């Protein structure tokens, strides 16, 4: 028997089940990992909720990509939410409860049975890669004796900062009391002693109760973190070396394999070359958007001078009050720059039926900018007309901004965003962090500073350097590339 046949037989017995938390920022990187594992020859089942499954498959781009991956199967399960739930991330707690009630039993059933996705059945699941936010996944996998790897879609720096939150609760520092000094240093997160302030921790640390439901959820996630066989992070050794070094003391098998988009492009172009195809798929075809992308903004950008536009997006979950949106809009208009702004349906909580945009904003934007419901963000960031990214500092957006080499103005809202933005402002220095200050004067000043102010050149140089380095990490033989090889090897070993 040739070694080639043996390898093929081993591969056929490996079946990885990937289970993301059902929101855009988690589905995107985990689907990229699913593709990468599938390219390596493993059978992969990607589990998503019915609604997201339908939305993913309504994208021609996703369908085209799946058609290239016969070993990758999408399977859907209920999310446990009521019919009237908007499924837009605005009710996260309901989402978590729904998963616990309706999804957990089916998840157990899938793992306990074949794990298959068709009437012909499939080999049993030999390894699970579950989102760290799906707290029950590790219980079920342990119960059934199936190896499980943790995928956290946030940054390494926020992962590390989160680990200290229970201790800060025990010592009474959290919850921060009204009137306490939010600029005080937290001082107990290794490597961040000199710059991580209380205001840089997730906003629920400011809640009045230690029993805040998000806090309880976070503590569960932290308790779980050492129960997995490994930890996958969508980051790179270059960007987060210090935090990764600390994390490895806790979880020795940590695999920083980001930015996953870039890594997939590398691997795909190498395998396409092997298969004799003409190059890989162009970057614009990597979209995994759950919303329909409005591509008119690309033509609008084409007509704009280089580095003249501010791109504004708050991701898929953040919610803005009408008055916040108005302050932002005035800040942007007063900065004098043109802007492209994603106002996703439901972004404005107290807005009207037409996407919630106040009349003043809708009417006054025509001269200065363009509003779209959902943009092809990576293409937008790569466009030469974009000179600044006003972002909520979600981790995917932060990485995409880095990849494109675009300096940022950060206005974070919750979860890991306040930590990420602190790193942008203080450590990576590729942007300005204006957290907790959403007034028009601050927004105007920050946009001007990044576009043409005194610190602008330093931020642009830092952004350009980061872009170069993350590209090197995902290139053939780069650190993320090698970490992926190690992950594949380890999954094979634990699947036997
Ligand atoms: N995104 C997009 N088009 C938009 C706005 C956002 O494609 O108009 C994508 C963006 O590229 C990113 C994801 O949505 O990959 C948002 O993830 P992130 O982690 O930044 O934030 P979250 O939505 O989780 O808060």
Helices (H), 230-310: 237-250, 260-275, 296-302
Average pLDDT, the chain: 91
Nearest CA owner, ligand 1 atom 21? 394
For residue 352, the CA-to-ligand 1 centroid distance in Å is 23
| pLDDT at 471 exceeding the cut of 50 | yes
Nearest CA owner, ligand 1 atom 24? 25
SS3 call for 104: helix
| pLDDT at 277 exceeding the cut of 50 | no
pTM of the complete model: 0.94
Q: Strands, E, within 298-355: which ranges? A: 309-313, 338-342
- Given the CA of residue 287, which atom of ligand 1 is nearest to it? 7
| pLDDT at 446 exceeding the cut of 90 | yes
pLDDT digits (tens, 9 = 90+) for 316-370: 999 898 889 999 999 999 999 999 999 998 888 876 555 567 777 877 788 889 9
- For the chain, how many helices (H) and strands (E)? 21, 13
Low-confidence winner among 82-96, 394-408, 421-435 (lowest mean pLDDT): 82-96
The average pLDDT across 184-198 equals 96
For residue 291, the CA-to-ligand 1 centroid distance in Å is 10
Nearest CA owner, ligand 1 atom 13? 25
Low-confidence winner among 60-69, 153-162, 303-312, 416-425 (lowest mean pLDDT): 60-69
Report the first-to-last Cα separation within the chain, whole angstroms: 19
302 is an active site residue: no
Nearest CA owner, ligand 1 atom 17? 25
CB 186 within 8 A of CB 201: yes
47: which strand partners? 75
CB 368 within 8 A of CB 339: yes
| pLDDT at 9 exceeding the cut of 70 | no
Of 31, 288, 293, 394, the one to substitute when testing ligand 1's pocket (max ligand atoms within 8 A of C-beta) is 394
73 is an active site residue: no
CB 115 within 8 A of CB 15: yes
Q: List the 309-313 sheet strands across, edge first.
A: 369-372, 338-342, 309-313, 386-391, 408-410, 431-433
pLDDT digits (tens, 9 = 90+) for 379-392: 999 999 999 999 99
- Between CA 92 and CA 89 the distance in angstroms is 5
| pLDDT at 192 exceeding the cut of 90 | yes
| pLDDT at 274 exceeding the cut of 60 | no
The average pLDDT across 396-409 equals 98
Nearest CA owner, ligand 1 atom 14? 315
Give the model's pLDDT for residue 278.
Answer: 44
For residue 402, the CA-to-ligand 1 centroid distance in Å is 14
| pLDDT at 114 exceeding the cut of 80 | no
Nearest CA owner, ligand 1 atom 11? 377
Element (DSSP H or E) covering residue 29: helix 24-39
For residue 85, the CA-to-ligand 1 centroid distance in Å is 21
Residue 469 CB coordination number (10 Å): 16
Report the share of the chain in percent with pLDDT over 90.
75
For residue 443, the CA-to-ligand 1 centroid distance in Å is 21
Q: Which of 15, 26, 383, 392 is catalytic?
A: 26
Q: Judging by DSSP bridges, how do beta strands 148-152 and 72-77 pair with one another?
A: unpaired
SS3 call for 257: coil
Q: Which of 53, 73, 79, 131 is catalytic?
A: 131
Q: Return the structure tokens found at 9.
A: 């037989």
The average pLDDT across 65-85 equals 90
pLDDT digits (tens, 9 = 90+) for 125-154: 999 999 999 999 999 999 999 999 999 999
Q: How far is CA 127 from the centre of its chain?
A: 22
Q: Strands, E, within 163-308: which ranges? A: 231-233, 254-256
Give the model's pLDDT for residue 386.
Answer: 98
For ligand 1, residues with CB inside 6 Å are: 24-25, 28, 289, 313, 315-318, 342, 374-375, 377-378, 394-397, 400
- Between CA 190 and CA 187 the distance in angstroms is 8
Element (DSSP H or E) covering residue 72: strand 72-77
Q: Look at 286 and 196; give whichever has higher pLDDT.
A: 196
| pLDDT at 259 exceeding the cut of 60 | yes
For residue 400, the CA-to-ligand 1 centroid distance in Å is 9
Q: Which of 286, 158, 326, 301 is nearest to 233 (CA)?
A: 158
- Given the CA of residue 395, which atom of ligand 1 is nearest to it? 19
Of 377, 395, 417, the one to substitute when testing ligand 1's pocket (max ligand atoms within 8 A of C-beta) is 377
- Given the CA of residue 153, which atom of ligand 1 is nearest to it? 19
For residue 379, the CA-to-ligand 1 centroid distance in Å is 12
Q: Look at 277 and 31; give whichever has higher pLDDT.
A: 31
Q: Is the ipTM of this complex over 0.90?
A: yes
348: which strand partners? 320
pLDDT digits (tens, 9 = 90+) for 235-249: 999 999 999 999 999
- Given the CA of residue 378, which atom of ligand 1 is nearest to it? 11
């Amino acid at each position: 028997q040739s070694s080639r046949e043996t390898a093929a037989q081993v591969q056929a017995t490996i079946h990885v089940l990937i289970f993301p938390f059902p929101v855009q920022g988690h589905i995107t990187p985990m689907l990229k990992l699913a593709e990468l594992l599938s390219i390596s020859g493993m059978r992969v089942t990607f589990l998503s909720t019915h609604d997201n499954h339908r939305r993913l498959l309504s994208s021609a781009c996703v369908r085209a990509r799946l058609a290239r991956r016969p070993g990758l199967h999408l399977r859907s399960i209920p999310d446990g939410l009521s019919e009237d739930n908007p499924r837009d991330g605005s009710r996260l707690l309901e989402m978590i409860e729904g998963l616990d009630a309706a999804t957990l039993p089916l998840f157990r059933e899938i793992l306990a049975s074949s794990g298959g996705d068709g009437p012909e059945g499939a080999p049993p699941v030999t390894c699970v890669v579950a989102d760290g936010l799906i707290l029950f996944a590790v219980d079920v996998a342990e119960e059934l004796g199936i190896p499980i790897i943790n995928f956290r879609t946030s940054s390494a720096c926020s992962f590390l900062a989160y680990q200290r939150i229970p201790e800060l609760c025990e010592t009474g520092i959290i919850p921060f009391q009204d009137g306490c000094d939010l600029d005080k240093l937290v001082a107990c997160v290794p490597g961040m002693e000199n710059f991580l302030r209380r205001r840089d921790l997730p906003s629920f640390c400011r809640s009045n109760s230690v029993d805040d439901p998000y806090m309880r959820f976070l503590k569960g996630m932290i308790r779980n973190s050492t129960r997995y066989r490994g930890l996958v992070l969508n980051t790179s050794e270059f960007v987060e070396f210090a935090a990764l070094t600390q994390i490895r003391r806790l979880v020795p098998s940590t695999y920083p394999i980001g930015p996953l988009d870039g890594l997939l492009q590398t691997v795909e172009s190498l395998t396409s070359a092997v298969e004799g195809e003409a190059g890989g798929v162009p970057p614009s075809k990597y979209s995994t958007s759950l919303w329909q992308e409005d591509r008119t903004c690309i033509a609008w950008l084409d007509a704009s001078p280089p580095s003249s536009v501010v791109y504004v997006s708050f991701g898929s979950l953040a919610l803005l009050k009408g008055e916040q949106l108005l302050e932002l809009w005035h800040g942007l208009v007063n900065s004098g720059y043109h802007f492209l702004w994603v106002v996703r349906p439901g972004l404005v909580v107290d807005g009207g039926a037409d996407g919630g945009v106040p009349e003043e904003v809708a009417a006054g934007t025509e001269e200065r900018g363009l509003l779209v419901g959902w943009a092809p963000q990576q293409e937008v960031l790569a466009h030469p007309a974009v000179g600044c990214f006003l972002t909520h500092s979600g981790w995917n957006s932060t990485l995409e901004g880095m990849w494109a080499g675009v300096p940022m103005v950060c206005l974070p809202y919750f979860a890991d965003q306040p930590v990420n933005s602190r790193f942008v402002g203080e450590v990576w220095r590729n942007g300005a962090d204006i957290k907790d200050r959403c007034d028009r004067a601050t927004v105007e000043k920050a946009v001007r500073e990044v576009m043409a102010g005194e610190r602008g050149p330093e931020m642009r140089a830092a952004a350009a350097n980061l872009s170069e380095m993350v590209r090197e990490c995902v290139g053939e033989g780069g650190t993320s590339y090698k970490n992926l090889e190690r992950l594949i090897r380890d999954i094979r070993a634990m699947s036997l």
